[in-house]
Amino acid sequence: MSFLTRASSNSVMSVSCPEKGTIDWNKVKDKIDGAIIRCGYGDDIALQDDTQYARNLAECERLGIPYGVYIYSYSTTENQAKSELAHFLRLIKGHKPELGVFLDVEEDDCHNFAPRACRVVCEGLKKEGFTPGVYASLSWWNNYLTEIKEYTRWVAHWNPTCGYAGNYQIWQYGTEHIDGINGEVDANYYYGDFGKSTTVSKSVPDIIYQVYTDSSGWLPVVKNLEDYAGVDGQPIKGLRVFAKDVQLEINTHQMINGSIDKLTISTPDHTIRNRVRTIGSADYFSWMENEKDTGGSTDTFAGEAGKPIDRVQITVKQ
């Protein structure tokens, strides 16, 4: 179980049972602002329901404790994700988890399918009128869930401050002992009023950029990912990048004829995402985040030596 705290944020505990045994909710009530309760794990099988879930839910409703629920995901296929959605819907039917309904993605073998699992489950929950969210570690948010932006973000980072650079609504910062519960429980800050979460936003600058080709000169500027900069088949020979109040480090490598074939863009203040396409290629290279290739390559630059670039996209990671 996780608990949530009240101030500019609320303290919410997250609880998974049976490891916490029978909770004395009368004692817990005045120590927390809310709870997120595990209702089960994996496929829609009754044996995989949390054995204390029904009681925990009933106690929260009896005592007026705001609550949410979560399921631990094992999905690696579409059918498994649909089964986890059915598992949720069976257990929350007739209830109103105002803090949200969360898919917990952290199982090692599931990271490749996790983004799709999140969308299958969360979209299904939305259709049924629930507020969906995703729980994951800082590492998972940074490496596997970068495109999951539509749902409530619950970030686990056990640290004095949350290191996630994007927007989030709940931060799991560690564990606490609460009278009435066996052992320690996961502790969280929930930002905003219950039922109306407030996104914790860090100022993310717009990236404005343009490129130069011999045939077209300086092309119109592009903002973030509204388009790409370049003209198909025309080698890029110049690049300008602007970001308000951000010091950017930009390095380009030019071939003998002046065409750019490799580039790096970085800043210590943000994570800059950029990708390029070379002339004649159907697809872009994988995204670079500052000087790290998200596709797994050890390259510190976007592009390939000797192959001129004709498209560029640049943005700041949310």
Q: What is the mean pLDDT of residues 206-220?
A: 92
User: Across-strand partners of 209?
Assistant: 222, 241
What does the pLDDT look like over 155-184, one tens digit per residue?
999 988 888 888 888 999 998 889 999 888
pLDDT band at 229 (very low <50, low <70, confident <90, very high): very high
Tell me, yes or no, whether 86 and 39 share the same domain. Answer: yes
Whether residue 213 is predicted with pLDDT greater than 50 in this model: the reply is yes
Tell me, yes or no, whether 93 and 217 share the same domain. Answer: no
Is omega for the bond preceding 132 within 30 degrees of 0, making it cis? no
Whether residue 145 is predicted with pLDDT greater than 80 in this model: the reply is yes
Of 239, 251, 241, 249, give the one whose Cα is nearest residue 269: 249
* pLDDT value at residue 318: 67
Task: Select from 197, 229, 258 the last residue of a domain.
Answer: 197
How far is Cα 54 from Cα 44, in angstroms, rounded to an integer? 16
Query: Is 224 part of any domain?
Result: yes
Tell me, yes or no, whether 190 and 242 share the same domain. Answer: no
How far is Cα 297 from Cα 285, in angstroms, rounded to an integer? 11
Query: Is 203 part of any domain?
Result: no
Q: What is the mean pLDDT of residues 283-294?
A: 86
Tell me, yes or no, whether 63 and 120 share the same domain. Answer: yes
How far is Cα 106 from Cα 70, in angstroms, rounded to an integer? 13
Whether residue 199 is predicted with pLDDT greater than 80 in this model: the reply is no
Query: Is 214 part of any domain?
Result: yes
Query: Is 230 part of any domain?
Result: yes
Task: Select from 145, 172, 197 the last residue of a domain.
Answer: 197
Query: Is 202 part of any domain?
Result: no
Tell me, yes or no, whether 155 and 91 share the same domain. Answer: yes
Tell me, yes or no, whether 169 and 224 share the same domain. Answer: no
Tell me, yes or no, whether 223 and 277 share the same domain. Answer: yes
Q: What is the mean pLDDT of residues 132-150?
A: 94
Q: What is the mean pLDDT of residues 127-136?
A: 94
Tell me, yes or no, whether 273 and 191 share the same domain. Answer: no
Domain residue limits at 144: 2-197
Q: Are 119 and 151 in contact (CB under 8 A)?
A: no
* pLDDT value at residue 193: 62
* pLDDT value at residue 297: 78
Give the count of domains, the chain.
Answer: 2
Tell me, yes or no, whether 181 and 227 share the same domain. Answer: no
Whether residue 148 is predicted with pLDDT greater than 60 in this model: the reply is yes
Q: Are 27 and 210 in contact (CB under 8 A)?
A: no
Whether residue 41 is predicted with pLDDT greater than 50 in this model: the reply is yes
Tell me, yes or no, whether 221 and 243 share the same domain. Answer: yes
pLDDT band at 5 (very low <50, low <70, confident <90, very high): very low
C-alpha distances out from residue 260 to 99, 190, 236, 249, 263, Å = 50, 46, 6, 16, 8
DSSP state of 304: B
Tell me, yes or no, whether 156 and 33 share the same domain. Answer: yes
Tell me, yes or no, whether 156 and 117 share the same domain. Answer: yes
Task: Select from 136, 162, 197 the last residue of a domain.
Answer: 197
Whether residue 4 is predicted with pLDDT greater than 80 in this model: the reply is no
Can you read off the two tokens belonging to residue 178?
């609460």
pTM value?
Answer: 0.62
Q: What is the mean pLDDT of residues 34-44?
A: 95
* pLDDT value at residue 8: 43
How far is Cα 101 from Cα 40, in angstroms, rounded to an integer? 12
Residue 26: helix, strand or coil by DSSP? helix
Helices marked H in 93-145: 114-127, 138-143
